Amino acid sequence: MVASAANARSAQPVVRTSDLTRSFNGFTAVSGIDLEVAPGTILGVVGPSGSGKTTTIRMLTGSLAPTRGEISVLGESPRSFSGRTRAQIGYMPQQFILYPDLTARENVDFVATLYGLLLFKRRRRSRQVLELLGLWPVANRQAGKLSGGERRRLELACALVHEPRLLILDEPTAGVDPMLRRTIWDEIHRLRDTGVTAIITTQYVTEAEEVDQVAVIAGGRVIAHDSPAGLRRSAMGGEIVEVETTGTFDASALADVPGFRNVRQTGLRTFEVLVDDAGEASAAMAESVLRAGGEIASVRELQPTFEEIFAAIVEQGGAGVPEDLSATAPAARSQEAGTR
Amino acid sequence: MKSLYRVMALVGKEIVEVLRRPGAVISLVLGPFLILAIFGFGYHGYRRDLQTIVVLPVGANLATDPQEYDSLDATGIRVISVTADRTAAEAQLQSEAVDLVVVIPANAVQALEQGQQADLTIEMNQVDPVQANYATFMAQTLMADVNREIYRRGAEAGQAYAVQIGGQAAKIPADVIASPTVAKVVNFAPISPAIVAFFGVAALALVLQHMAVTLLALSIVRERTSGAMDLFRIAPIRATELVIGKVIAFGLLGGAIAAISVALLVGLLGVPMLGPPILIAVTIALLLGASLGLGLVISIISDSERQAVQLSLLTLLASMFFSGFVLRIDEFEAPVQAAAYLLPVTHGIRLLQDLFLRGSIEHPWQLGALTIIAAVLLAASWILLRREMRPA
């Protein structure tokens, strides 16, 4: 996955923005956003509500014109998308925009036809996406009578039905139960592995684990843009190692060991150390503890939760942590690595 | 090919959406017919006789029994009492117990004999200008009849007076002297349609316009407010395809409703259909096309469902007043007449009334006018929709 993403990154970006800015009556919703999204990667745009995620997405789709800056999507400006380029974009908006009086299948068929799928392919693809997202049993139910989760899946089905090269999904997992959330991410990963590029906004910071690149957006600005691992490192200043010794140990003895930073005693037999690379630090740790008269029982890397990471990033970015930025997906709380 | 599929997808989507709402279907199909049926069965076409008091001064040489006035030709007026008390009569007029008070001068016959005119006063208490005009017209008819009666009585009273009129006048009956001409009304129209036929056809045109305007206006406004317009902005669909798809869908629905309404109008209400059905169909198609164009323009300039409904209702109100449905267009000032001819229904009513009740079109230019209105409105809506589908 990482290799394919790395290979893809060497190609021309699918989306590129430069100084992207949008104002509404003097209020700047999005300011100076520079992004590049390589083919076959998933970019997660993470930020609290009102941070400018949807405005950015709408500019990428051509629904909204930027006040300033440049955008290139699939090599074209969204202001003047050709029909061919439009046909390569799959868009799932934040709110339900489909037709409540049409059945699930009719909605998918309608969108498929808008995207130019003719009769037989349309039928085949409609069925495929409905089955894929578990909607086939309710295919003949009117969209207005579907549950909230089914409606989100239906919108995703409509975004996928024409097999787009670029998926733009605005909070696809909002209000969706954990099982369905997993299904949606699995499908997005599967599509990414077939070369589809995806830009996905989310308020759930823990979902940053699911993407290849994360852009943290707050107050209309991108305050961090990196891989999830890169973000973790940059937010915390390195990797945190938790050490347990067989007996009582005074961790202050390690304060002067080169490469060990922020040594913090957490118990009579436990302490934490910030290092550049947890894997490389293990041997030095064992030696240093032994030299200081202790003996290591276990060493493990502590992975801070993305809540902590984003809190750190937002604070570094000069803003307070908005309440909904700390929202987490219920199924993805623990991010601790196992004992090494 | 894909373009055709997109248009057909829109057509199918719109029709399915409308048909999925049974209430809407019932009101669409049965509503216009019910209105026509209630109108046809409930409107007899004759105005209530104006209740009238004749104030006759004591000593006037005219009948004092109200029933004697029934023999006069003044239809539309019923003399309910003859009194010498003008104040009491006017009090009844003030309280709207009666519609008219006719004050006959005391010296009417004598004045005639002396070759002078006497003032006959007609009083009413009416703020409705249409009703006031009608009452005035009726009162003048009564006045003519009273004049004739005065004349007749004068002729009967003095042979010498009749001799003064002409050498052989003594041999001429008093009725002939009083009324030397008798009006004979000749109508060149092929039929004299019942009220329901005349207004039923007009109501059909009005209902079709209102239905087309409202359905289409709400359809697009709903798509805008639900966010579905974003789908059209992003998908490879053009404004042209959107306009064509919407117009075909609602044109088909309107056409089906028109066909059902015409069948009910002719079959159940007995409205004659003298004109060729194909020309009637063409007229209805043009009326629907122009109305759909109007609906599209309303939908694009409206920013909410509420505004679209308000504008649709204002269009209906304007159509009621200015289209010739109630008031004749030539009774308006020239600028208002010009504005009236901008409404599709103005032409629709006249063309359909001509086709149904005369069998041919009296003013073929109105077909052209309807075509031009449809073309201009559809082109305008296409331009506006194109602009709306661009990035905001």
CB contact under 8 A, A106 and B16: yes
Chain B positions in Cβ-Cβ contact with residue A143 (cut-off 8 Å): none
- Among A79-93, A186-200, A220-234, A305-319, whose mean pLDDT is lowest? A305-319
B232 and B270: one domain? yes
* Closest chain A residue to B225, measured at CA: A97
Q: Architecture of A237-302 per CATH?
A: 2-Layer Sandwich (3.30)
How many CB atoms are closer than 10 A to CB A161? 26
Which of B18, B231, B386 would best serve as a mutation to test chain A binding (most A beta carbons within 10 A)?
Answer: B231
Range of the domain at B122: 50-178
Last residue within a domain, chosen from B156, B178, B200: B178
Residues 6 or more apart from A17 whose CB is under 8 A from it?
Answer: A33, A34, A35, A36, A56, A59, A60, A69, A70, A71, A72
Chain A positions in Cβ-Cβ contact with residue B231 (cut-off 8 Å): 91, 93, 97, 111, 114
Q: Tell me if A320 sits within 8 A of A310, measured CB to CB.
A: no
B203 and B349: one domain? yes
CB contact under 8 A, B5 and A95: no
B76 and B121: one domain? yes
Burial of B70 (0-12, 13-18, 19+ CB in 10 A): exposed
- Res A164: pLDDT: 92
Domain assignment present for B199: yes
Q: Determine the Cα–Cα distance for residues A333 and B72; give it in Å rounded to an integer.
A: 100
- Contact status of B237 with chain A (Cβ, < 8 Å): yes
How many CB atoms are closer than 10 A to CB B310? 13
Domain assignment present for B80: yes
Q: Determine the Cα–Cα distance for residues A11 and A4; give it in Å rounded to an integer.
A: 11
Q: Determine the Cα–Cα distance for residues A114 and A100; give it in Å rounded to an integer.
A: 18
Q: Determine the Cα–Cα distance for residues A256 and A288; give it in Å rounded to an integer.
A: 10
Domain assignment present for B183: no
Distance from CA of B5 to the nearest CA of A (A): 7
**Which residues are paired to A42 by β-bridges?**
A198
Domain assignment present for B209: yes
Q: Determine the Cα–Cα distance for residues A200 and A211; give it in Å rounded to an integer.
A: 9
> What tokens appear for B156 in the block?
């009967």
Nearest to B234 among A86, A113, A116 (CB): A86
Domain assignment present for B185: no
> Which H helix or E strand runs over A193?
helix A178-193
Nearest 5°: phi and psi at A159?
Answer: -75, -25
- Res B154: pLDDT: 66
Nearest 5°: phi and psi at A103?
Answer: -75, 170
Chain B positions in Cβ-Cβ contact with residue A115 (cut-off 8 Å): 235-236
Q: Where are the alpha helices (DSSP H) in chain B?
A: 2-19, 22-42, 66-69, 86-94, 108-113, 129-157, 159-165, 174-178, 195-226, 228-234, 239-267, 277-301, 305-322, 334-340, 344-353, 365-389
> What tokens appear for A284 in the block?
């030095």
Question: A241: number of CA atoms within 13 Å, CB side?
Answer: 26
Q: Determine the Cα–Cα distance for residues A92 and B198; give it in Å rounded to an integer.
A: 54
Longest Cα separation, chain B: 98
CB contact under 8 A, A61 and B232: no
Q: Where in chain A is the domain with CATH 3.40.50.300?
A: 2-233
CB contact under 8 A, B5 and A113: yes
- Contact status of B22 with chain A (Cβ, < 8 Å): no
> What tokens appear for A293 in the block?
């008269």
CB contact under 8 A, B231 and A79: no
Tokens 């009703």 belong to which residue? B131
B18 and B145: one domain? no
Does the ipTM exceed 0.85?
no
B329 and B234: one domain? yes
Chain B positions in Cβ-Cβ contact with residue A113 (cut-off 8 Å): 5-6, 8-9
Higher pLDDT, A192 or A204: A192
Q: Tell me if B40 sits within 8 A of B261, measured CB to CB.
A: no
Longest Cα separation, chain A: 77
B93 and B10: one domain? no
Does residue A9 have a pLDDT over 50? Answer: no
Residues 6 or more apart from A226 whose CB is under 8 A from it?
Answer: A213, A214, A234
**For A2-233, which CATH class?**
alpha beta
Domain assignment present for B74: yes
Residue type, B350: R
- Res A51: pLDDT: 85
Q: pLDDT in tens for each of the 392 residues of chain B?
A: 778 888 888 888 888 888 887 777 677 667 766 776 776 677 666 677 888 898 888 777 677 788 877 666 566 778 889 898 999 998 998 888 888 888 887 776 666 666 666 677 888 877 766 677 777 777 777 777 777 776 777 666 665 555 555 555 555 666 666 655 555 556 667 777 777 788 889 989 998 999 999 988 988 898 888 888 888 888 888 889 999 999 999 999 999 989 988 998 899 888 899 999 999 999 999 999 999 999 999 998 898 889 999 999 999 999 988 998 888 888 788 899 999 999 999 999 999 999 998 888 888 999 999 999 999 999 999 999 888 887 77
- Contact status of B16 with chain A (Cβ, < 8 Å): yes
Distance from CA of B210 to the nearest CA of A (A): 23
Tokens 């993305």 belong to which residue? A306
CB contact under 8 A, A116 and B227: no
- Contact status of B48 with chain A (Cβ, < 8 Å): no
Domain assignment present for B186: no
B82: domain CATH number is 3.40.1710
Distance from CA of B216 to the nearest CA of A (A): 16
pTM: 0.73
Q: Determine the Cα–Cα distance for residues B243 and B315; give it in Å rounded to an integer.
A: 21
Q: Tell me if A62 sits within 8 A of A81, measured CB to CB.
A: yes
Q: Tell me if A75 sits within 8 A of A14, measured CB to CB.
A: no
For every residue of B133-191, which 3-state class applies, written as one string? HHHHHHHHHHHHHHHHHHHHHHHHHCHHHHHHHCCCHHHCCHHHHHCCCCCCCCCCCCC
Domain assignment present for B203: yes
pLDDT-derived band at A333, boundaries 50, 70, 90: very low
Closest to B247 (Cα-Cα) out of B281, B223, B212, B221: B212
B273 and B335: one domain? yes
B135 and B220: one domain? no
Q: Which is it for strands A166-170 and A15-24: parallel, antiparallel or unpaired?
A: unpaired
Distance from CA of B234 to the nearest CA of A (A): 6
CB contact under 8 A, A113 and B6: yes
C-alpha distances out from residue A31 to A224, B21, B70, B219, Å: 14, 45, 88, 36
- Contact status of B1 with chain A (Cβ, < 8 Å): yes
Burial of B182 (0-12, 13-18, 19+ CB in 10 A): exposed
- Res B352: pLDDT: 95
Higher pLDDT, B46 or A246: A246
Q: Determine the Cα–Cα distance for residues B362 and B286; give it in Å rounded to an integer.
A: 17
What DSSP string describes B373-388?
Answer: HHHHHHHHHHHHHHHH
For every residue of B357-376, which 3-state class applies, written as one string? HHCCCCCCHHHHHHHHHHHH
Chain A positions in Cβ-Cβ contact with residue B238 (cut-off 8 Å): 83
pLDDT tens digit sequence for A46-55: 888 888 888 9
CB contact under 8 A, A115 and B13: no
- Res A71: pLDDT: 92
> What tokens appear for A205 in the block?
């910071």
Torsion angle, alpha carbons of A95, A170, B388, A98, to 10: -40
- CA angle, B196 as apex, B193 and B202 as ends, to 5°? 95
CB contact under 8 A, A102 and B17: yes
Nearest to B230 among A63, A101, A114 (CB): A63
**Which residues are paired to A326 by β-bridges?**
none
Distance from CA of B138 to the nearest CA of A (A): 57
Nearest to B235 among A84, A86, A95 (CB): A86
- Contact status of B236 with chain A (Cβ, < 8 Å): yes
Last residue within a domain, chosen from B129, B151, B178: B178
Does residue A322 have a pLDDT over 60? Answer: no
How many domains does chain B divide into? 2
- Tell me the three state secondary structure of residue B339: helix
> Which H helix or E strand runs over A155?
helix A148-160
Q: Tell me if A160 sits within 8 A of A91, measured CB to CB.
A: no
Last residue within a domain, chosen from B127, B157, B178: B178
pLDDT tens digit sequence for B207-239: 899 999 998 898 889 888 888 888 888 888 888
- Tell me the three state secondary structure of residue A265: strand
